[in-house]
Amino acid sequence: MYNDFYQEEELMSSLSSFEQALEHNESKYFEVHEFEYIIDHYISAQNITSSKNAIQKALIIHPKSHEIQKRLAQVKNMEGQYESAIETLNNSFVSFGTDKDLDYFLILGESFLGIGENKKARDAFSRAIELSEEEYFDIVTTVAALYQQEGYFEEVIYYLKSVENEDSSLLFDIGMSYHNLLDNKNAILYLEKFINQTPFSVDGWYYLGKSYQDSNRLEDAEDAFLNTIALDSELIIYQYDLAKVYIDQSKYLEALEVYKEILSKDKNVNHSIFLSIGDISYNLEQFDNAKKNYEIAIRLNPESAEGYYSLAQVEIENESLELAKSFIQKAISIDANKAAFFVTLGTINQLMGDVKSAEFSYLEAVNIDSNLNTAWHLLIDYYFFLDKPQESIDVAFKSLANIDEEYSIYCKIAASFFDLDDTEQAVYYLKKAINIDSDARVFFKEYYSESDQNIHVKTLLGQL
């Protein structure tokens, strides 16, 4: 490299002279090593236009320079012109022979990576690493960074682990790669190691908190986010994540304090914060306060379907069903692709005695989202309590093709078979439910009102 032979002051002077010549539209001669420094300066600054301009002038003076050709390929990579970069490198290889040029193989590997030729990329990178010698650490981490930019996190882990070095930056990058792969166990392992070495890293604590959160280790996530905020109290996103963890632990008052802190700092908050505050109030059964915050959210965003949906939930609690229905219909008019909205509309219709509309709403919910447990259960219950046991059974079996097997589904099937006087099938599915979870006994007795009056059912439950 030119830095091994030339003084930094000399090279900086060349850059200054080059820029002065450009400014005055003058032609000036520079040696190859001077152009290398000038071009690298612009590449480091991600200044593609200036890089290309310097390369163009360099090739006029030094048209056969392999070093300039490499930099031309590097800039083409920056522009996403990977195939053209490969062509430039191949021409350079034919002309000069580059089998021992580390940088050539690095740039070539990046080009192959850009067009998805992963095997060729790995071969090129392997050759660069073979040539690295005392630069081994830097070259391996550079290769890992290139894979990271393209989202190949398995490769990042492979290369960084090959270094066999527990440098803190490597621990963080490995941990983040596992985090991006949703491998929370290993993400936590490496991020904890990173934090032990770098306890004042904001990013370290934050992403450790996110991995804890994704692993449902909520108390650990809470501690991690508190440490994040202690180190940087200005970035609001950290407080939103802390509030979410509080809510997931049903620590509603603590979450409310965090949201108040956010509101005191940021006057340009999104309407969603008022939806969250409203949800907290709803969970605390403070329905008037919940309604007030949902209304604020709607004023900030009149197209908030979630806001109208939430208002409908409040009015169901207030037994104001006509008002609840108008709110949920407004939500559906804004977004007709939310199964939960139709579940709520079905519930309201059922409470109002409009059973046909309730049936339509529940069917629409499962058509939108066949994985929504609540919709299936409500539809099963709807038919069962309307004394339509066969329809209830049909829906229950259909639900099992879409949602996880649950003992409650089998209990409901058993109840319908009892209503059909098909004791053999009823017993079969009741046994199936109890085999999944012994709590099925209690659930069935609560669900099937005739359990205590029907001596046959009581006997069966006792035997099971």
Give Cα separations from 160 to 10, 32, 102, 114, 140 (angstroms).
Answer: 36, 34, 19, 20, 7
b/e code 421-458 from CB counts within 10 Å (16+ = b): eeeeebbebbbbbbebeeebbebbeebbeebeeeeebe
| pLDDT, tens digit, 9 for 90 and up, residues 40-50 | 999 999 999 99
Q: What is the pLDDT, as a whole number, of residue 96?
A: 60
Rounded Cα gap, residues 58 and 77, in angstroms: 19
Q: Is the pLDDT of residue 98 over 80?
A: no
Q: What is the pLDDT, as a whole number, of residue 6?
A: 53
Mean pLDDT, residues 91-107 taken together: 77
Domain boundaries, the chain: 166-269, 270-335
CB within 8 Å of 398: residues ≥ 6 apart: 376
Q: Give the CATH number of domain 166-269; options: 1.10.10.10, 1.10.3720.10, 1.25.40.10, 3.30.70.20.
A: 1.25.40.10
Rounded Cα gap, residues 299 and 40, in angstroms: 53
Number of helices and strands in the chain (H, E): 27, 0
Q: Is the pLDDT of residue 169 over 90?
A: no
Q: Is the pLDDT of residue 386 over 60?
A: yes
CATH superfamily of 270-335: Tetratricopeptide repeat domain (1.25.40.10)
Q: What is the pLDDT, as a whole number, of residue 464?
A: 57
Mean pLDDT, residues 428-437 taken together: 91
Mean pLDDT, residues 199-212 taken together: 97
Q: Helix (H, G, I), strand (E, B), or coil: what is residue 464?
A: coil
Q: What is the pLDDT, as a whole number, of residue 242?
A: 97
Mean pLDDT, residues 406-416 taken together: 93
Q: In this structure, which amino acid lies at residue 387?
A: D
Topology agreement, domain 166-269 and domain 270-335: yes
Q: Is the pLDDT of residue 461 over 80?
A: no
Q: What is the pLDDT, as a whole number, of residue 460?
A: 67
Mean pLDDT, residues 186-208 taken together: 96
DSSP class of 368: H
Mean pLDDT, residues 252-266 taken together: 92
For the chain, percent of residues with pLDDT exceeding 70:
95
Mean pLDDT, residues 62-67 taken together: 89
Mean pLDDT, residues 386-394 taken together: 93
pTM equals 0.75
Higher model confidence: residue 441 or residue 285? 285
Mean pLDDT, residues 28-39 taken together: 90
Mean pLDDT, residues 336-365 taken together: 93
- Which stretches of 318-404 are DSSP H helices? 321-334, 339-351, 355-368, 373-385, 389-400
Of 94-98, 185-189, 222-226, 408-412, the range with the lowest mean pLDDT is: 94-98
Q: Are 152 and 145 in contact (CB under 8 A)?
A: no
Residues, the chain: 464
Neighbours of 6 (CB within 10 A): 16
| pLDDT, tens digit, 9 for 90 and up, residues 239-251 | 999 999 999 999 9
Q: Residue 204, Cα to own-chain centre: how many angstroms?
A: 17
**Mean pLDDT score of the chain:** 90
Residue carrying the six token digits 């830097």: 138
Q: Are 177 and 157 in contact (CB under 8 A)?
A: yes
Higher model confidence: residue 442 or residue 333? 333
Q: Are 414 and 429 in contact (CB under 8 A)?
A: yes
